[in-house]
């Protein structure tokens, strides 16, 4: 599998990133433009650089290397964590983690990274900002409720919290408008197609388009379900262990949560989703399990519609999304 001249594992943090080469060993660079250039000079041709998805920290380095025609792979941190646990490693440092990521890249067939366009990059940043604003708004609402429960709330505190809530509402609305205008530049047709699915709202459709690069990242809906993290995991061993099946949760948590919220509305207005929900509940299974199955169905429907280029049709989509 080692078709590369050398494989480098990268453990990246706020100020520095540690590198372990399969042949050259350990080194450390500053997590800035000069550090990126120093690392680039060290890389031989036909190298593979493997790093974990660590939010903001990995993104700049991955984008930089990709634009310099370096082969990059961004892997799930949980996969690397389990790989380290399997080795029963007793030492955990940035240096040892870089080595473990390097070994992970040597043993496994890792996915190759594709750089985002400027529009996709800005959309992801806007989604992160919107998510942060929504969390702050929820916290503010809870504080307002807490002040009301006191019975004699401070007028100053109460009015201040109301102003903060009003400001956050305005910011969230502005972010949503900006997101919509950006996605319309490249994916207006796909946005219209996805929102034709009963249960899929504008926010979910926007997010699905952004994180999947317009559905080009996946060959089929099963890969998409795995990416979201709503595929079931089976826990059985011998004749005595029969654990409850659960979803894997190894995937994009934000999209998983959005789809779960969409499933409530889909059960009312989407016939295929309603049929699945009722069938599972009638078997005595939990409503939560049924809603997860509905989320799975929504992914299959969205994938079928995005790939076909045709708007939602109850009979047509039921055949394609099986």
pLDDT above 70: residue 301: yes
**Is residue 5 within 8 Å of residue 45, measured between CB atoms?**
yes
Distance (Å, whole) CA 152 – CA 156: 12
* DSSP letters for 177-241: HHHHHHHHHHHHHHHHHHTTSTT--HHHHHHHHHHTTTTTS-SSHHHHHHHHT-SEEEEEETTTE
Q: What is the pLDDT of residue 169?
A: 96
> If DSSP codes are grouped into helix, strand and coil, which group holds residue 65?
helix
Q: What is the pLDDT of residue 124?
A: 80
> If DSSP codes are grouped into helix, strand and coil, which group holds residue 247?
strand
CA distance readout (Å), 117 to 183, 201, 203, 272, 315? 12, 24, 20, 35, 36
With 0.75 as the threshold, say if the pTM is over it. Answer: no
pLDDT above 50: residue 228: yes
User: Residue 238 phi/psi, 5° resolution?
Assistant: 60, -145
**For the segment 131-168, what is each residue's pLDDT rounded down to a tens digit?**
899 999 999 999 998 888 877 778 898 899 999 999 99
Percentage of residues in the chain having pLDDT higher than 90:
33
Rounded to the nearest angstrom, the gap between the alpha carbon of residue 309 and the centroid of all alpha carbons in its chain is: 24
Distance (Å, whole) CA 51 – CA 58: 7
**For the segment 16-62, what is each residue's pLDDT rounded down to a tens digit?**
999 999 999 999 999 999 999 999 998 988 899 999 887 667 888 99
pLDDT above 80: residue 183: yes
Q: What is the pLDDT of residue 90?
A: 64
Q: What is the pLDDT of residue 53?
A: 80
pLDDT above 60: residue 79: yes
């Amino acid at each position: 599998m080692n078709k590369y001249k050398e494989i480098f594992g990268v453990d990246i943090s706020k100020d520095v990133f540690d590198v372990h080469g399969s042949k050259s060993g350990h080194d450390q660079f500053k997590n800035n433009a000069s550090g990126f250039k120093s690392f680039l000079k060290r890389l031989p041709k036909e190298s593979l650089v493997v790093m974990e998805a660590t939010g903001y920290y990995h993104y700049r380095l991955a984008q930089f290397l990709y634009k310099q025609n370096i082969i990059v792979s961004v892997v799930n941190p949980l996969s690397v964590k389990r790989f380290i646990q399997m080795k029963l490693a007793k030492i955990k440092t940035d240096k040892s983690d870089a080595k473990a990521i390097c070994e992970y890249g040597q043993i496994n067939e890792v996915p190759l990274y594709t750089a985002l366009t400027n529009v996709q990059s800005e959309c992801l940043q806007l989604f992160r900002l919107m998510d942060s604003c929504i969390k702050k708004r929820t916290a503010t609402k809870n504080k307002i409720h807490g002040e009301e429960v006191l019975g004699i709330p401070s007028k100053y505190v109460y009015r201040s919290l109301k102003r903060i809530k009003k400001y956050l509402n305005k910011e969230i609305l502005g972010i949503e408008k900006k997101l919509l205008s950006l996605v319309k530049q490249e994916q207006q047709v796909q946005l219209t197609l996805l929102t034709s699915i009963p249960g899929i709202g504008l926010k979910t459709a926007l997010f699905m388009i952004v994180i999947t690069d317009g559905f080009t990242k996946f060959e089929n809906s099963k890969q998409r379900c795995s990416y979201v993290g709503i595929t079931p995991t089976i826990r059985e061993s011998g004749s005595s262990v029969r654990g409850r099946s659960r979803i894997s949760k190894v995937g994009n948590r934000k999209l998983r949560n959005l789809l779960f919220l969409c499933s409530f509305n889909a059960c009312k207005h989407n016939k295929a989703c309603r049929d699945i929900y009722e069938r599972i509940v009638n078997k005595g299974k939990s409503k939560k399990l049924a809603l997860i199955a509905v989320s799975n169905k929504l992914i299959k429907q969205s994938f079928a519609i995005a790939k076909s280029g045709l708007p939602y049709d109850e009979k047509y989509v039921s055949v394609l999304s099986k």
